[in-house]
Amino acid sequence: RPAVDKEVDFANYFCTYGYLYHQKEMLSDRVRMDAYYNAVFDNAAEHFRGKVVLDVGTGSGILAIWCAQAGAKKVYAVEATKMSEHARELVKANQVEDIVEVIHGSMEDVELPEKVDVIISEWMGYFLLRESMFDSVICARDRWLKPDGMMYPSHARMWLAPIRSGLGEQKKNDFNSAMADWYSFVDETEAHYGVNMGVLTKTFHEEHEKYFLQTSLWNNVHPNQIVGSSVVIEEIDCLTATVDDIRTVTAEFSSSVETDRTHISGFAGWFDVHFRGNAQNPARHEVELTTAPSVDDCTHWGQQVFLLHPPIRACVGDTVHVSFTMSRSKQYHRLMDVEFTTTLHASSGKSLQPRTAKFYIE
C-alpha cells in the first residue's frame, strides 16, 4: 500500500494540471519556455535527431512536439491527467502524430515498447522539490533510459539568500488582528451563547501562527532585496540522483551581509536547472534556466520566501550562519517541512543566540 492513495493524490495534486488554464500559465512563462526551446533546438543535431525521447508529464504536449520538430525519431509523451487528450489534439494539429505517441497514465504504471535515448521533463515545483514530481522522473529514468542516455535538464541546484522584505511586518499584523478578532469572538460567544471558548485559544493561535507566520510565501523578490551572498545549498545530477538523495535536503552555510544597517527579514529560496547533455555527448550550447530574483526575467515559480519573526538587524561585514533542513510533510509527501537555525556573527566578533524557525511549503 503506497504512502498516498492514487485517488487522493489526484484530488490533491493532479487535478489542477487537468485545466488548460494552468497549463497556459506555464506555457506563458517566457523564461521557462525560452530555456527549454533553446535547449532542444540548439542541440537538435547532437541530442535529438534520430533519437527516441520520453517526455515525463507532457501536459499540453509542448516539449514532445518540440522534440519531434527537432528531429526525434520517436517521442513517448506520458501524462496522468486528461490533459493527455488535448496533447493528442495538439500533436495532430502540428503534424507530428507519426512521431509523438501520447500515453495517458501515471509514469509509474506505463509500459514502453523500448528504452529511450533522452528523457525530457519539466518537473520542477516551487523551490525545486515541492510536488515531489522528480520522483516520477527518477522512476522513468531507472526503468526506461538507455545506459548512455541523457536527461533534459541534466542538473539542478537549490539556492538561498538572506533578504529584507516588508511582507514580514504585514503578516505579523495579519496574525495580530486575527488574534484580536479571536479574543472578541470568545467574549461574545460567552456573553451571547453561554459557552466559554477560551480553552481553544491555544489551538487557534497555533493554527493561525502556522498560516500567517510559518507558511512560506510565493513572491517575486526584487534583486535589491537580497542583503547577503546567495548560496547553493543542493546540487542534483539528474542522471544519478536517487529518491533517497532528495527526500531530505540539509545544508550548513554562511552568507555574508553585503548591505549596511539592514534587517534580515528572512530568506528567499529558488532554483536553477542546466541542460548539459551527458559526459559522452555534452551539449553544444549549454542552456541555463534560472528562477533567481530578477527585474526582467521573472518566472511563474517566483521565489519561496521564509520570514523570520522578528527580523534580525545586521550590518555589512556580519555573517549569518544557517543550518537548513527540508523534508517531506508526513501528511502529504508533495509538500515540505522546512527548518532554519540562524545565528548572526557580527563583524565585532559577537554572536547572537541561534534562533530556530519552522516553515511549511504548502
> Which residues form the interface with ligand SAH (CB under 6 A)?
14, 17, 26-27, 57-60, 62-63, 78-81, 83, 106-108, 122, 133, 136
Minimum CB distance to a copy of itself smaller for 26 or for 139: 26
* Minimum distance, C-beta of residue 201 to ligand SAH, in the bound complex (Å): 18
**Partner from ligand SAH, a copy of itself, none contacting 93, C-beta within 5 to 8 A by type:** a copy of itself
Give the active site residue among 131, 169, 209, 234: 131
* Minimum distance, C-beta of residue 120 to a copy of itself, in the bound complex (Å): 15
Nearest to 165, CA basis, from 233, 232, 216, 127: 216
Minimum CB distance to a copy of itself smaller for 24 or for 222: 24
Residue 248's CB: how many other CB atoms inside 10 A? Answer: 12
Minimum CB distance to ligand SAH smaller for 15 or for 279: 15
* Minimum distance, C-beta of residue 209 to a copy of itself, in the bound complex (Å): 12
Residue 94 makes contact with a copy of itself by CB under 8 A: yes
Minimum CB distance to a copy of itself smaller for 203 or for 348: 203
Burial class of residue 348, CB neighbours in 10 A (0-12, 13-18, 19+): exposed
* Minimum distance, C-beta of residue 279 to a copy of itself, in the bound complex (Å): 30
Decide the pairing of beta strands 336-345 and 355-361: antiparallel
Number of residues interacting with a copy of itself: please give it, by CB under 8 A. 42
**Partner from a copy of itself, ligand SAH, none contacting 215, C-beta within 5 to 8 A by type:** none
Cell of 330: 508526513
Nearest to 265, CA basis, from 310, 230, 315, 317: 310
Q: How far apart are CA 119 and CA 128, in angstroms?
A: 18
Minimum CB distance to ligand SAH smaller for 63 or for 338: 63
CB 270 within 8 A of CB 293: yes
Q: How far apart are CA 341 and CA 354, in angstroms?
A: 6
* Minimum distance, C-beta of residue 187 to a copy of itself, in the bound complex (Å): 12
Residue 297 makes contact with a copy of itself by CB under 8 A: no
Determine which residue in the list 29, 89, 174, 258 makes contact with a copy of itself, applying CB under 8 A: 89
Residue 271's CB: how many other CB atoms inside 10 A? Answer: 24
* Minimum distance, C-beta of residue 151 to a copy of itself, in the bound complex (Å): 22
Phi and psi for 257 in degrees, rounded to 5?
Answer: -70, 130
Q: Which residue is nearest to ligand SAH (CB)?
A: 57
Q: Quick check: is 122 catalytic?
A: yes
**Partner from a copy of itself, ligand SAH, none contacting 33, C-beta within 5 to 8 A by type:** a copy of itself
CB 140 within 8 A of CB 54: yes
Phi and psi for 154 in degrees, rounded to 5?
Answer: -100, -25
* Minimum distance, C-beta of residue 211 to ligand SAH, in the bound complex (Å): 19
The DSSP bridge partners found for residue 342 are 322, 355
Minimum CB distance to ligand SAH smaller for 14 or for 306: 14
Q: DSSP letter at 354? A: P
Touching a copy of itself, residues 18-57 (CB under 8 A): 19-21, 24, 27-28, 33, 37
Give the active site residue among 97, 108, 122, 288: 122
The DSSP bridge partners found for residue 345 are 319, 351
Decide the pairing of beta strands 100-104 and 74-79: parallel
- Secondary structure (H, E, C), 305-327: EEEEEEEEEECCCCEEEEEEEEE
Decide the pairing of beta strands 262-277 and 282-290: antiparallel
Catalytic machinery residues: 122, 131
- Contact set with a copy of itself (CB under 8 A): 5, 7-8, 10-12, 19-21, 24, 27-28, 33, 37, 60, 62, 65-66, 69, 86, 89-90, 92-94, 182, 185, 189, 192-200, 203-204, 207-208, 211
